[in-house]
């Protein structure tokens, strides 16, 4: 009599893979083995999975020989898809006008070619053609890509070239408001992971300025609000570190940064304010730092209280000077900027 011993670990993997394999035949194989691990008979498995009893036997033999990897092997060449002749223009259509759902793609294919495909067939076809589900980026609706490109070419890049030569200091300025709570993340796991989260809306505010070349970070932190007083305090710190070089602050158009008091203080300190075009966070290098901090420190973490939360952020900001972070920031804080001439919908 054919026997099989399926471990608890493999049973959990089979339970996951029976839903997530891209090919229906592999889903059936995973289901058959999963049911066998639950002590179903061959006849019951064949009826539930809609396969022959001989197929159940083959899958068990394969599992005994090489485990789940052996069962997942496909040792036959499939037929060429009847949509192969339509590939070029279908790919162009899907690139120019992306779809959100497989049903939408199947409907478009059927309407254009008369060939009806199930959603699972469409999924396999799109993957064979190199498509994959990706989270969309966002471009503010009021942004002006032409104005952003002109600013990048005529103002920002020339300034950065001067800073690389040591002729000036260019600081990218922005505020981050870290709210104590659950920063969701992705885990590789067999079951969904739940992360504890704190109550309330405690905020730890950081107004930061990162130097474009050295990546030196200067900050003003508080637990209340970032306002013009915070900006003036930050400018005072930057002036002390300037070593006599001209200082340029690249910042957005927030009201607490673009007002008479800030402009007057900047003029007295000899600091040039360079305001970004509207809706241009992708041109502010410090935005990458805030994202890095959330990823490295906050995502998937729980903090007992606001003191621990604040202290952890403060310590992390200071630790950015260490070699570990300097190497990562070197590849992150580069002068490569996103532009939006293409891939808009």
Lowest-confidence region among 19-28, 79-88, 119-128, 219-228: 79-88
pLDDT-derived band of residue 186, with 50, 70 and 90 as boundaries?
Answer: confident
pLDDT reported for residue 44: 92
Contacts 24+ apart (CB under 8 A), 272-276: 272/246, 272/247, 272/248, 273/249, 274/155, 274/156, 274/159, 274/248, 274/249, 274/250, 275/251, 276/151, 276/250, 276/251, 276/252
Two tokens at 195? 């992360």
Does 192 lie in the same domain as 306?
yes
| Nearest CA-CA partner of 73 in 121, 21, 147, 136 | 21
- 0.75 exceeded by the pTM? no
Give CA–CA dist 323/325, Å, rounded.
6
* pLDDT greater than 50 at residue 84: yes
Q: What is the pLDDT of residue 342?
A: 45
Where does the pLDDT of residue 138 fall: very low under 50, low under 70, confident under 90, or very high at 90 and above?
low
Alpha-carbon torsion, ordered 172, 204, 299, 127, to 10 deg: -50
Between the CA of residue 330 and those of 92, 121, 213, 285, what are the distances in Å? 37, 44, 9, 12
Please check the confidence at residue 267 and state whether its pLDDT lies above 90.
yes
Considering the domain boundaries, does residue 137 fall inside one? no
Q: What is the pLDDT of residue 340?
A: 67
Q: Which residues contact 217 (CB under 8 A, 6 or more apart)?
A: 208, 209, 210, 211, 289, 317, 320
* Measured distance CA(293)–CA(291) in Å, rounded: 5
Domain count, the chain: 3
Which residues form the domain of 14? 8-71
Are residue 241 and residue 302 in the same domain, yes or no? yes
Residues 27 and 88 in one domain: no
Same domain, yes or no: 99 and 14: no
Contact 333, 215 (CB under 8 A): yes
CA 155, CA 162: separation in Å to the nearest integer? 11
pLDDT of residue 185: 81
In this structure, the answer to whether residues 99 and 241 fall within a common structural domain is: no
- DSSP assignment of 56-77: HHHHHHHHHHHHHHHHT---SP
Residue 172 within a domain: yes
For the chain, the average pLDDT equals 89
**DSSP conformational letter for 183:** B
Point out the domain boundary residue: 48, 71, 94. 71
Q: What is the pLDDT of residue 260?
A: 95
Regarding whether 296 and 175 lie in a shared domain, the answer is: yes
Task: Answer yes or no: do 43 and 176 share one domain.
Answer: no
Domain membership of residue 135 (yes or no) is no
Give domain status of residue 196, yes or no. Answer: yes
Q: Examine residue 1 and state whether it is found in any structural domain, yes or no.
A: no
106: Cβ–Cβ under 8 A, 6 or more apart, which residues? Answer: 116, 117, 118, 119, 122
pLDDT above 70 for 141: no
The residue with greater pLDDT, 203 or 79, is: 203
pLDDT at 201: 80
Any domain includes 179 = yes
Q: What is the pLDDT of residues 168-177, one digit of tens each?
A: 999 999 999 9
Tell me what the mean pLDDT of segment 265-278 comes to.
95
- Comparison of pLDDT for 193 and 247, the residue scoring more: 247
Q: Tell me: pLDDT of 166 over 90.
A: yes
pLDDT at 78: 57
**pLDDT confidence of residue 124:** 87
pLDDT higher than threshold 60 for residue 77? no
Is the pLDDT at 320 greater than 50? The verdict is yes
Are 64 and 119 members of one domain? no
- Tally of CA atoms within 13 A in the half-sphere of 225 that contains its CB: 5
Tokens of 73: 């092997």
In this prediction, residue 250 carries a pLDDT of 97
Question: 263 in a domain, yes or no?
Answer: yes
In a shared domain, residues 150 and 243: yes
Note whether 219 and 161 are same-domain residues.
yes
Same structural domain, 295 and 151: yes
Q: How confident is the model at residue 3 (pLDDT cuts 50, 70, 90)?
A: confident
d(Cα 307, Cα 32) in Å, to the nearest integer? 53
Across the beta sheet with 247-251, what order do the strands follow? 217-222, 203-211, 169-179, 247-251, 271-275
**Locus of tokens 């009021």:** 142
DSSP per residue over 284-320, as a string?
-THHHHHHHHIIIIIBT---SSHHHHHHHHHHHHHHT
pLDDT for 187 beyond 90: no
pLDDT for 277: 93
Q: Would 78 be classed as within a structural domain?
A: no
> Does residue 90 sit in the same domain as residue 207?
no
């Amino acid at each position: 009599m054919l026997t099989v011993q399926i471990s608890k670990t493999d049973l959990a993997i089979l339970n996951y893979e029976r839903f997530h394999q891209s090919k229906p035949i592999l889903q059936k194989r995973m289901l058959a083995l999963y049911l066998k691990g639950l002590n179903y008979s061959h006849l019951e498995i064949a009826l539930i999975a809609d396969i022959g009893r001989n197929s159940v036997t083959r899958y068990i033999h394969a599992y005994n020989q090489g485990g789940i990897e052996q069962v997942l092997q496909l040792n036959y060449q499939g037929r060429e898809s009847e949509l192969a002749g339509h590939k070029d223009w279908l790919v162009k259509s899907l690139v120019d006008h992306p779809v959100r759902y497989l049903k939408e793609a199947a409907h478009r294919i059927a309407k254009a070619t008369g060939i009806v495909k199930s959603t699972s067939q469409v999924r396999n076809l799109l993957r064979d053609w190199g498509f994959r589900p990706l989270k969309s980026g966002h471009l503010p609706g009021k942004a002006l890509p032409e104005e952003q490109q002109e600013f990048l070419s005529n103002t920002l890049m020339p300034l950065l070239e001067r800073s690389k030569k040591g002729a000036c200091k260019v600081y990218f300025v922005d505020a981050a408001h870290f709210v104590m709570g659950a920063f969701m993340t992705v885990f590789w796991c067999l079951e969904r992971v739940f992360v504890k989260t704190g109550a309330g809306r405690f905020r730890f505010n950081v107004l930061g300025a990162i130097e474009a070349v050295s990546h030196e970070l200067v900050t003003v932190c508080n637990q209340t609000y970032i306002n013009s007083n915070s900006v003036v305090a930050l400018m005072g710190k930057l002036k002390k570190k300037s070593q006599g070089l001209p200082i340029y602050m690249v910042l957005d158009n927030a009201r607490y940064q673009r007002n008479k008091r800030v402009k007057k203080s900047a003029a007295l300190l000899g600091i040039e304010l360079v305001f970004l075009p509207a809706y241009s966070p992708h041109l502010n290098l410090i935005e990458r730092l805030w994202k890095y901090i959330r990823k490295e420190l906050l995502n998937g973490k729980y903090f007992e209280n606001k003191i621990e939360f604040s202290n952890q952020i403060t310590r992390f900001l200071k630790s950015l000077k260490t070699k570990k972070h300097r190497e990562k920031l070197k590849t992150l804080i580069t002068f490569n900027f996103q532009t939006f001439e293409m891939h808009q919908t």
